[in-house]
Amino acid sequence: MNAALAIARSRSWRALNARLPLLLCVLALGIATGYPLAILFLQSVFPQILGGSLEGFLDAYRRIGETPDMLVLIRNSLAWAGATTVVAWLFGIPCGYLLARTNLPGKLWARLSLLVPIMTPPYIAALSYILVMQAGGFGDTLVGGLPEGLRAWFFSFWGVTLVMALSSFGYVALAVEATLSGIPRRFEDAATLLGASWGQTARRILLPLLLPAVFNSGLLVFLEALSNFGVPAVLGTRSNLPLLPAEIFYLVTSWPVDLALATSLSSLLCLFALFTLYGSRWLAGVLGAGEYRPGQASITPLSVGQRWLAWAFIGTLFVLSSVVPYAAMVLTSLAQTWGVGWPTLTLAHYTDIFTFGSRGLQALWTSLWLSITAATLCIAIGGYIAYVNVRASGWAQRFLDGLATLPRVIPKIVMAVALILAWNAPWVRIDIYNTVAMLLLAYVVIYITDALNYSNSTLRAMSVNLENAAAVLGASRFTIFTRVVLPRLKPALLAAWLTTFIVCMRELVASILLLPPGTDTTATFIFNQFEQGDLSVAMAMATVTIMLSTIVLVLFTLRRR
C-alpha cells in the first residue's frame, strides 16, 4: 500500500516537474499581460472598483451611448482604419505582384523602397507632411503656392488616411510577394491547358490562394491604424478628425482625468481589435483555397512600356512615402530662419542636441539604453516562452498561446492604459509606477510578440530529434535549451532583437503616457518640441533617430552576411 502510494506520488511529482516550465510561462505572461487587461475591463465596468466599490455599474458605457460626439469618434476611428487598409491594399497588392510575378528590372531597389516607409515612424511622416502642406510651408515655397483645394483635401479624412496608408502599404506588398512567389506555376499551367483565360485563372486560382496573405497583412494595417496615436494626435487634430487613440490620451492626461471613460473607450478599442482578428481569420478560412506545397512561380514578361509604367507606379509611391517626408524632415532640421523663400541653413540644431547635458542628448541616451535593454529582455524571455509553447500540449499550452497573441492584437494605447491601472492599484506594493522601469516593463510587454513570432516559426520547423537525443544522454531542460535549441534559434532571435530595438527607439504612445516628469525619449522629445513650435530641433532629433536605427540595421545585415 505504502509502496503504491509512493509510486503514485513520484509519478505526480514527475508530471508536475515536467509541466513546471509551461506553468511558469503561463504565470509570467498572465501577470504581464492578462492581469492589466483584466483590471482595465473591470475598471470600465465598475468605475470605483480600485477604491473597493462596485458602484457606477456600466455608467461609462452609458455615457458613450448618450453622447453623440463619442459615437462620432468611434465611427471615425473604424472608418479611418478601414479606409487606410483599403488604400494600403490598392498600393501594396500591385507592388507585390510586380515583384513576385514579373521580370521587372531592379527588384532589389523596389524592395528597399518598400522598407523605407516601414522603418519611418508614422508620426514623423505626418509631421513632415504638415511642414510641406501647411500655409507658408515647403509646398508653397517650391511651387509658389499650393492650390487651396489640395490643402483642404490634405487636412481632411482622406489626407490623414493617405499618410497612414503610405506608412504601412509595404506590409501588404511584402506579404503578397512572399505568397505569390510560392504559388507553383503548375496550377496556372493546368488551368491554361483546360482553356481558362488569364482573368479566370486569376479569379479562380490566384485570388483564393492569395486571400490569406491579403487578409493577414490587412489585419496588421487595420490594427496599426486603429491603435496609432501619433498620426491622429498630430495630423488628425489639425484636420478636424477626432479619433479614439488621441481622445483616450487626452482623457488620461488632461485635467480633470476621466479614467472611467478612458477605460471604457479602451475596452471598446480592444474588442474591435479582437473582432477584426477573428473575423479576418474566419474570412481567410472561408474564402481561401487552403494549403499547398510551394513551388516555382510563373513569371510574366513585361514590355518596355509596361516596365516604365511599373516603375512609374513604384517610384511615385516611393516619392510620396519617403522622398517628400524625408526631404522636409532634413531641410527643417537644417533651417535657421523662416520667411519668404528658402530658409538659411545651419547645423546648430544638431549641435544643440549633442551638447553635453542637453535635454536632447539625455532623451537620446534614455531611448538607447531602454531599447537595448527591452530588446534583450524580449528575446531572452520570448525565446524561452516560444520554446516551451511549441514543445508543449494541452490546455495550458493553448492558454499560453492565447496570452502570447494578446500583445500583438491589443492596441498599444490600450495596453499602456491597462499597465497604468494595474501597477498603480492600491494593493501593489512595488513602487514602479512613475519611474523609467515602468516604461521598460511596458516595452517588454508590448513588443515581446516579435520575439515570440520569430521564434515560433523557427521552432516549428526544427526537428526534435537532437533534443530527444540530449535528453536520453541525461541533459537537463536548461542544458538542452542553451546547448541544442539556442544555437539554431540564434538567427531568428537576432532578427527579433533588431526589430524590437527599432520599434522601441521610435515608440511614442507608451512613452508619452508612462515616462516620469522631467524625462524624455526621442519620440516624446520630438512630439513635445513640435507641439511647442520648435520645429527644427524636433526634425533634427527625428533625423538622428532614423539614422541611428538605419546604422544598426546595416551593421546587423553585414554581420549576418
Q: How many CB atoms are closer than 10 A to CB 197?
A: 10
Extract the C-alpha cell encoding 135.
500655409
Q: How far is CA 193 from CA 190, 199, 552, in A?
A: 5, 14, 50
Residue 289 has what pLDDT?
A: 55
Residue 13 has what pLDDT?
A: 44
Per-residue confidence in pLDDT tens, the chain, 561 aa: 555 544 444 444 444 455 677 778 778 888 888 888 888 888 888 887 777 777 778 888 888 877 777 888 888 889 999 999 999 999 999 998 888 888 888 888 888 888 888 888 888 899 889 888 888 777 777 777 778 888 899 999 999 999 999 999 988 888 888 887 777 767 666 777 766 766 677 677 777 777 888 888 888 889 888 888 888 888 888 888 888 888 888 888 777 777 788 888 888 888 888 888 777 777 766 665 555 555 555 677 888 888 999 999 999 999 999 999 998 898 888 887 665 566 777 888 898 888 888 888 999 999 999 999 999 998 888 888 887 777 777 777 777 777 777 777 788 888 888 888 888 877 877 778 788 888 898 898 888 887 777 777 777 777 777 777 877 777 777 787 788 887 888 888 888 888 888 888 888 888 888 888 888 899 899 988 888 888 888 899 999 988 888 888 777 767 665
Q: CA angle 531-411-537, nearest 5°?
A: 20
Q: How many CA atoms lie within 13 A of 289 on its CB side?
A: 17
Residue 158 has what pLDDT?
A: 93
- Set out the domains of the chain in order of their start, with CATH numbers: 54-99+115-171+208-335 (1.10.3720), 348-561 (1.10.3720.10)
Residue 162 has what pLDDT?
A: 94
Extract the C-alpha cell encoding 115.
522598407
Grouping H, G, I as helix, E, B as strand and the rest as coil, residue 150 is: helix
Helices (H), 120-206: 122-133, 138-143, 148-154, 157-182, 185-193, 198-201
Residue 344 bridge partners (DSSP) = 337
Q: How many CA atoms lie within 13 A of 67 on its CB side?
A: 12
Q: How far is CA 449 from CA 239, 304, 379, 386, 401, in A?
A: 33, 44, 10, 10, 11
Please tell me the distance from the alpha carbon of residue 108 to that of residue 99, in angstroms, as a whole number: 9
Residue 66 has what pLDDT?
A: 77
Residue 345 bridge partners (DSSP) = 335
DSSP string, 35-100: HHHHHHHHHHHSTTGGGT---STTHHHHHHHH-HHHHHHHHHHHHHHHHHHHHHHHHHHHHHHHHH
DSSP string, 484-533: IIHHHHHHHHHHHHHHHHHHHHT--HHHHHHSPTT---HHHHHHHHHHTT
Evaluate whether 77 touches 243 at the Cβ level (below 8 Å): yes
Evaluate whether 231 touches 126 at the Cβ level (below 8 Å): yes
pTM, full prediction: 0.84
